[in-house]
Amino acid sequence: MSGFKKLQIWTGIYLSIFLIIHLLAVFVGRYYLHLDTNIYFGVAGLNVFPFNLFFIPYYSLAIISVFGHVASIHQSKAERSFIGLNPNRQAIIIVCFGIIFTGVILFGLTNHFHGLKIPKEYNVLIMK
Could you report the per-residue pLDDT of 74-119, keeping only the tens digit for each?
Answer: 999 998 888 999 999 999 999 999 999 999 999 999 999 998 999 9
pLDDT of amino acid 101: 98
**Predicted structure pTM score:** 0.91
Q: How far apart are CA 63 and CA 50, in angstroms?
A: 21
C-alpha separations of 116 from 38, 42, 48, 87, 120 in Å:
14, 12, 9, 40, 12
* Cα–Cα distances in angstroms (integers) from residue 104 to residues 59, 80, 111, in the given order: 13, 30, 11
- CA 18/CA 72 separation, integer angstroms: 19
